[in-house]
Every structure is written in C-alpha cells, then in structure tokens.
Chains A and B, each alone.
Chain A
Amino acid sequence: MELTFYIAAAVATLATIMTITRYNIIHALLYLVVSFLAVAVVFFTLGAPFMAALEIIIYAGAIVVLIIFVIMMLNLTHEDVEHEKAWLTPKVWVGPAILSAVLLAELAYIILSPDTLPTEALVAVDARVVGLSLYGPYMLGVQLCGILLMAGIVGAYHLGRQKKKVVHRFLQPKEERSAAI
C-alpha cells in the first residue's frame, strides 16, 4: 500500500511535468488526465475513496472534456504549436523555475524538519462522517456553492454568447454597402 502511494506520486509528478512542457495543447491535456488519475490513486491510498471518485468524475471527466471542447471550437492549427515553441524558450522558463524551486526547497525544509509535525501513520476518514459534516455544520457552505455554480452558469452563458454586430447601412464601408445592394 505504501509502495502504491509512492508510485502514484511519482506518476503524478512526471505527468504534470510533461503537461507543463508540451507544445501541443491536446497532448498536454492527455498528460493532465494521467496526472489527475494518479492523484486520485493518492487519495485512495490516503483513505478517501469518495474523493478519489469525485476527482476522476469532475476533474478528469468534466473539466478536461470542457477544455477539449473549447479547443475544438478554436480550430487551432500547426502554426499555434510553432508559436508555442517560439514562446517557450529557456530564457523564459529558467528564471521562474529556479525561484519556484527555491520556494519548494523552503517548503520541504519546513515540512521535513522533525519538530514541526509528529511522524505517525495517517488514519482514514469515513465518507459517512464527511457527508454528515457537509450537511450539518457546513450547510451554509453547500448553499454558497450552489449560488457560485449558478453564477458560473449565468456568467459563462453571458460571456460566451456571440453578439451579432448590427451596423446601419449608411455607416457601413462603401464596398460592403455596394455588395449588399
């Protein structure tokens, strides 16, 4: 079981690295699905099987498919991959990568220093307790989530609508007007 956790963690890290270094968006998304599935395995080994199922259904299922649909609507071609290749030069990524690695090293120092956290095995939390807590003390949070989703639906509909441009025929450029006539 412990080996499962470490293998899944390695797969998640590698898949995320592949995600952030791909030039083609579809390839990056496929690696992202692998990363989410690996994190779901990590959840399972941590004793949260319900969260693992939610991770697969919502992240790897819904969100990635939504992004793939939008990419299909955008009609991206080979030129965009070339653009991506031109944008992602070592001069661009070395600086942020080094600084973020320094921050990660600090975080690792804090997490791994022996006096901050006692080292003991983790205990699984039952999904039943989570449900009772969700509909007990966190009732207001659930309702706020509903409001947030509603706002998301309305906002996505409003922003995604294509507005038809209506120009009076006297204001149109000359050639268009003659073509329309």
Chain B
Amino acid sequence: MTSAHMEAALMLAGVLFMLGLISVLIRRNIIFMLISVEIMLNAAGLAFIVAGTKWVQPDGQVMFIFILTMAAAEVSVGLALILQIYHQLKTLDSDAANLMKG
C-alpha cells in the first residue's frame, strides 16, 4: 500500500514530458536536444510505472526496464553521431547540419 495518488503521479509525468518537449523545441544545441529526449523518455517510464502500480500488474515495470535499455542504446548512438557532426562541422548548432553530404 502506498499513499501517493495516481492523478498526482500522472500529472508529474505529464509535466516532465512537457518540459522535455519544450526544451527539444526551443534548443538549437544538439546535446541539449539529446538531454531533452532523455527527460521525455524518463517521463514516459514514470507513467508506465504509475499505471503498473495502479492495476497491480508487473507489466509497467517490465516496460520501464525496456525503456531504460532503449534509452541507453539511443544515447550511445546519439553521442557518436554528435561527435561525428562536431568533427565535420566544428559546431553543435543543429541548423548547420542541413546538408546530406558525407
């Protein structure tokens, strides 16, 4: 038995997701965009755990583990891409990466 209520926890997930969404929309720095995606994934995992706790099923936490795995794989590939972009363009501005030239 826990004391937190479902609405409050779901609202927290929604607020965190909205903050991540705002950040990914307003930032031009690619690393900040990656961090914002992490915030959004974390908020989605929080919503999964709240739902799993609500219906007393383990599926929510299983999904959180999957999200965790995906976030780890995503951040490693994303950081490798950021390193490549920085070496090619000498900047972190996402607007500079508008040419599909190798």
Contact = CB atoms under 8 A, between A and B. Distances in A.
**Which of B57, B62, B70 has the largest count of A CB atoms less than 10 A from its CB?**
B62
A3 to B, nearest CB: 9
B93 to A, nearest CB: 8
User: Interface residue tally of chain B, by bracket?
Assistant: 35 or more
Contacts of B58: 125, 129-130, 132-134
Interface in A115-131: 117, 119-125, 127, 129-130
A101 B76 CA distance: 31
A157 B15 CA distance: 35
B69 A149 contact: yes
B98 interface: no
B76 A66 contact: yes
B14 A111 contact: yes
Interface residues of A, number: 85
A54 B65 contact: yes
B21 A100 contact: yes
Contact of A58 (B68, B79, B84): B68
Interface string A77-101: 0001001100110001100110011
Contacts of B71: 58-59, 63
List 3 A-B pairs, minimum CB-CB distance, nearest first: A152-B73, A20-B23, A159-B80
Interface of A: 1-2, 5-6, 9, 12-13, 16-17, 19-20, 25, 28-29, 32, 35-36, 39, 42-43, 45-48, 50-51, 54-55, 58-59, 62-63, 66-67, 70-71, 73-74, 76, 80, 83-84, 87-88, 92-93, 96-97, 100-101, 103-104, 107-108, 111-112, 117, 119-125, 127, 129-130, 132-134, 138, 141, 145, 148-149, 151-153, 155-160, 162
